[in-house]
């Protein structure tokens, strides 16, 4: 938006549509002083707070972020599903078991956990959320149970890489 231009309600304006995730044409829907406050997208017809057009780099970064979010959600769904399956064995005193299991472990040898890697029972891993852990058992080809300080959780493994991993 040109800083010297004053807009009126209904004027055509280029902006970034949050819904369409694209730079698009819209019409000014609300003003705050001389600034455009809201825009109605001509493509999806939604009225939303005005966002300036995005550069190509910003658009690409937005797409990446979205891909990661989708992957996180997928991983969460998987974890919830596996949890429901393994919840039957209540696990007393996880922290105590974790302390014993990691007592003689050298954290320098821990492998970074990713859902596309393979692991075996006894592997020492570092998880982005749970921290240092030990693989306690394999559930099946694409799942394992890992013991962390606060919880023993099922985790996916051997998952096919998503496009955003590249
Ligand atoms: Zn739109």
The string of pLDDT tens digits covering residues 64-80 is: 888 888 888 888 888 88
Cα 139 to ligand 1 centroid, rounded to whole Å: 44
Cα 57 to ligand 1 centroid, rounded to whole Å: 20
**SS3 (DSSP) at 165:** helix
Cα 40 to ligand 1 centroid, rounded to whole Å: 8
CA 55 remoteness from chain centre: 23
Cα 163 to ligand 1 centroid, rounded to whole Å: 25
Its sign, for the CA torsion 95, 96, 101, 102, is: positive
Cα 38 to ligand 1 centroid, rounded to whole Å: 13
- Read off the pTM: 0.47
The string of pLDDT tens digits covering residues 129-157 is: 899 999 999 988 999 999 999 888 999 99
Can you spell out the DSSP letters for 64-109?
A: HHHHHHHHHHHHHHHHHHHHHHHTTS--S-HHHHHHHHHTT--GGG
């Amino acid at each position: 938006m040109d800083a010297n231009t004053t807009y009126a309600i209904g004027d055509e304006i280029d902006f970034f549509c949050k819904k369409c995730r694209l730079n698009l044409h819209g019409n000014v829907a609300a003003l705050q002083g001389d600034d455009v406050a809201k825009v109605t997208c001509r493509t999806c017809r939604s009225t939303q707070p005005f966002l300036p057009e995005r550069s190509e780099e910003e658009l690409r970064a937005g797409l990446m972020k979205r891909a990661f979010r989708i992957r996180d959600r997928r991983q969460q769904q998987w974890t919830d599903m596996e949890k429901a399956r393994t919840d039957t064995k209540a696990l007393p005193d996880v922290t105590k078991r974790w302390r014993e299991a990691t007592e003689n472990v050298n954290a320098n040898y821990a492998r970074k956990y990713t859902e596309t890697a393979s692991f075996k029972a006894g592997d020492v891993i570092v998880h982005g959320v749970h921290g240092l852990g030990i693989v306690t058992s394999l559930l099946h080809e694409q799942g394992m149970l890992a013991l962390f300080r606060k919880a023993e959780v099922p985790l996916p493994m051997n998952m096919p890489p998503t496009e955003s991993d590249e």
